[in-house]
Amino acid sequence: MSMLAFSAEGYAVILDGAADIPSDAIAITAADEAIIRAAISRGAAVTRNGSSWIITERVIPIEAQRALWSMTDIQFAIAASSAPFNFMSDQEAQDWAGAGVIPAFGLAALASISDPATRREATIRFRGARTFWRLDPFMALLQGLKGLTDEQVDAFFLFGMSK
């Protein structure tokens, strides 16, 4: 049986092997622990009203979520070569993931960078990238070249991160 305490704000905190158990901590069943852990892992606030758990989903602004989104080069290649995105062909995805060959959409994005030093750095970063961040300047460049909305790029990242 696990122990649970409440933070100063009144939110549930599961005490994983805590040495000093607060005097107001309560024992919880394995079933309650599973529910509480799932809620906390998705960012929900868990409080208690008598014997009932109250789970309040927190709304995290999309801008804050985007700052945390990333996907690996393999996830990016899978998503970029899948419908409805199709930024690159299956062959380009395999060539890029296997040998770092830059696909046509990447070459177009890089060619649009007017400053030679910036273009050189971006080319090296793209060729060697193993992680792509949603708010990286290259993603903004790609978004503009492809005429994508923020929601379409979000969908691309959500799809890619699921692979």
Q: Cα-flanking dihedrals φ and ψ of residue 3, to 5°?
A: -110, 145
Q: Which of 71, 62, 43 is nearest to 79 (CA)?
A: 71
Whole-angstrom Cα distance, residue 92 to residue 89? Answer: 5
Local confidence pLDDT in tens for the 163 residues of the chain: 677 777 766 677 777 665 667 777 788 888 888 888 888 777 788 888 877 888 888 777 788 888 888 888 888 999 999 999 999 998 998 888 878 889 998 999 999 999 998 988 888 888 888 888 899 888 999 899 999 999 999 999 989 988 8
The first and second tokens of residue 83, run together, are 């419908």
Q: Is 73 helix (H, G, I), strand (E, B) or coil?
A: helix
The first and second tokens of residue 67, run together, are 């700052």
User: In the prediction, which pLDDT does 150 show?
Assistant: 93
Whole-angstrom Cα distance, residue 125 to residue 145? Answer: 18
- Model-level pTM? 0.57
